[in-house]
Structure 1
Amino acid sequence: MDAEFFLFEKNMAGEPSTKTHDAGSYFDLTPVDRGEDARRAMVEALVLLGFEVEAAHHEVAAGQHEIDFKYSDALVTADNIATFRFVVRKVALDFGLHATFMPKPIYGINGSGMHVHQSLFRRDGSNAFYDPQAKYQISTIGLHYMGGLLKYAREFCAVTNPIVNSYKRLVPGYEAPTHIVWSERNRSPLLRVPARRGLGTRAELRMPDPSCNPYLAFTAMLVLVLNLVFFADGDIFYTAA
């Protein structure tokens, strides 16, 4: 799960402003990344709560940060997202900052997404998306699942991108998805398939943003997509040349 957010300074009245805490960019370090101490404290708090944090770094935009934590099943991941947002806001307050999960708080710079990495596992622990003999080493189940995400994107975006500001993020030029296709490396398609295979075979849905209700978002995706996975007639995998 990749969750992004902004850290803003407060004004003289102690209210949130739109002045970013730093002018850093992707993977910048101290002293350019002035949010490093706050981000480290967030990670430490999450670890104490049982999170397996995989990465934490400055993102592309000034004042923008990302903390990634390990996958789990849908319900536990939704719980983790709710806890994550609470922890980030609380720790930011401790540092005199305001954390926001608004998708596009500032015009003209990158917005914040909540990239949802998805796969299905069998009862024996094997990844149902992986087939070493298939094209792209992706199984028929995986292709149908990914095809379902693309087929129903227009329907479930009302839940995964629930506010007006969500659609100010989904515009060209800022690494946000703008095309209902898939890719292995390009960041503008709705769906990215990371290169890792085996247990790590997965689809990364790049459209959702952190303003959504994760319980509703995951439910909407699964109800629509799993119907195609198990009842699809023929190959419904959508792609582009």
Structure 2
Amino acid sequence: MAFRVAGLFLKRELVAPATQQIRLLRTSNTARTQFLANSPNTALDKSILQRYRNLETPANRVQATYLWIDGTGENIRLKDRVLDKVPSSVEDLPDWQYDGSSTYQAHGENSDTTLKPRAIYRDPFKPGKNDVIVLCDTYNADGQPTASNKRASFQAAVDKIGDQEPWFGIEQEYTLLDVDGRPFGWPENGFPAPQGPYYCGVGADRVYARDLVEAHAVACLYAGIDFAGTNAEVMPAQWEYQVGPSNGLKASDDLWVSRYILQRIAEEYGVVVTFDPKPMEGQWNGAGAHTNFSTKAMRAEGGIKAIEAAIEKLSKQHQRHIKAYDPKEGKDNERRLVGRLETSSIDKFSWGVANRAVSVRVPRGVATAGKGYFEDRRPSSNCDPYAVCGALVRTCLLNE
């Protein structure tokens, strides 16, 4: 039995589980060595950069890394500029421009695309204590949002809802790969043992790249992200972290910046991060971005009634949400939402208490307390959180 992934053809070896575990440990160690040798980034001497990071920089000069979402709706782009004063808020940051024809957002004959700063974070990668990450959204030459700018629409929706205080918490799943596209730590010519021991696991034969994951957590906390936690996921080489709960746009802003930080740290380790919702075919869990949602009414005593009313609204807008929940308008989620492996069917809306095989889950503790939040399990791991959260607000609060 075999399957193809990212240009590789991997062959399953039919061995007894205990033998397979031992072979996995041996071959995964070999794979790591080969993996590091194949990664150009890990060949660089990082101590040379540290030499320059230790140099004293002028107190009034600040490095600002401007981030934005490109035309795919999935990928982060960035460029740096030096400011002549320390910004105290996004209002202190200038707009900027970039070549949108190189990011799938403009044509070459009119390619200047505008960056407007929207959120500011401490930068864990630059040496200066005042250096910042600047999250931006993007605008065409006529001043209109680019097609991939879902933040502007989400902001417009939030501006209409008054004091309902929507909170969002997002569970970001992802998978680590080597530079050739093989899941990190998997045997070079076979499979790991079946799913079961890896979720929240411990041990060198069950967990891969914990150092990278823990570095990411510390960097996100330093940056000012509402980082809530992390855990190893069901498929080996798959992980999850959570942001929020945060009010309004902050959880979505935080998720995009946390994705950038994760990929930057992975660069240094020579590891590839993929947010593909189904990176491995077969009996392996896919990856989602389960989104927890609540309002002031849901969190109040008797809030379960507001939760049930919101779920009823969602049940009538299922296809609209499926289109909003991955960048390819449902095409990526078709591979993941198959009605098994802890997913619901993409074609049918469902909900239940403590059930992970439904579209929307009400946690057991919420049902017992009679108030709290619900979890929308449909968003894909590569979703645009602005589109996801915007759809929830427009359906549940604006009745669109």
Please classify the TM superposition score into its range, dividing by the shorter chain length. Answer: 0.7 to 0.9
Which residue identity does 1:138 align to in structure 2? I
Asked if 1:113 is matched to 2:113, the reply is no
Residue in 1 aligned with 2:358?
189
Q: Greater RCO between the two (CA within 8 Å, min separation 6)?
A: 1
CA contact (8 A) 1:170 1:177 kept: yes
CA-CA distance at 1:131 after TM superposition: 6.1
Which residue of structure 2 lines up, in the alignment, with residue 14 of structure 1? none
Cα root mean square deviation, aligned: 2.1
Work out whether residues 344 and 358 of structure 2, in 8 Å CA contact, stay in contact via their aligned partners in 1.
yes
In the other structure, the counterpart of 1:172 is 339
Greater C-alpha Rg: 2
Of residues 357, 369, 392 in structure 2, which corresponds to 1:221?
Answer: 392
Say which SS state the counterpart of residue 118 (structure 1) adopts: strand
Equivalent residue for 2:182, pick from 18, 21, 28: 18
Report Cα offsets for 1:73-129 as digits up to 9, x if no partner: 2311110111111111111111110001111111011111001000001xxxxxx11
Partner of 2:224: helix, strand, or coil? coil
Aligned residues of 1:150 and 1:190 also touching (Cα < 8 A):
no
Counterpart pick for 1:90 among 264, 289, 293: 264
Percent identity reads: 24
Partner residue of 1:156 out of 298, 316, 321: 321
1:60-139 alignment runs, 5 A limit = 60-108=234-282, 109-121=284-296, 128-130=297-299, 132=301, 138-139=304-305
Change (3 A) 1:199 1:88: farther
CA distance in 1, matches of 2:304, 2:314: 15
4+ aligned runs moved over 6 Å, structure 1: none
Secondary structure class of the residue paired with 2:292: strand
Instruction: Work out whether residues 161 and 167 of structure 1, in 8 Å CA contact, stay in contact via their aligned partners in 2.
Output: no
One-letter identity of the residue aligned with 1:175: E
Moved more, 63-72 or 17-26: 17-26
Q: CA deviation at 1:28?
A: 1.1
Cα distance between partner residues in 2 of 1:64 and 1:160: 20
Within 1, Cα distance between the matches of 2:201 and 2:391?
Answer: 36
Query: Which residue among 293, 305, 308 is the counterpart of 1:143?
Result: 308
1:30–1:36 Cα contact (<8 Å) kept: no
Deviation (angstroms), 1:8: 0.5
Q: Any idea what SS the aligned residue of 2:349 has?
A: strand
Query: Partner of 2:334: helix, strand, or coil?
Result: helix
CA deviation digits over 1:207-238, x for unaligned, max 9? 0012122112221221122234xx9xxxxxxx
1:8 maps to 177
> What is the CA–CA distance in structure 1 between the aligned matches of 2:256 and 2:371, rounded to whole Å?
25
Amino acid in the other structure paired with 2:320: E
Aligned mates of 2:208, 2:398 — CA distance in 1: 46
Pick aligned residue for 1:55 from 216, 219, 229: 229
Distance 1:2 1:53 in 2: 10
Judge conservation of contact 1:18–1:106 (CA < 8 Å) in 2: no
Tell me the TM-score normalized by structure 2. 0.50
1:25-64 alignment to 2 at 5 Å?
Answer: 25-31=198-204, 32-64=206-238
Q: In 2, Cα distance between the equivalents of 1:177 and 1:40?
A: 31
**1:161–1:207 Cα contact (<8 Å) kept:** no
Extract unaligned runs of 5+ from structure 1: 12-16, 122-127, 232-241
| TM-score, normalised relative to structure 1 | 0.81
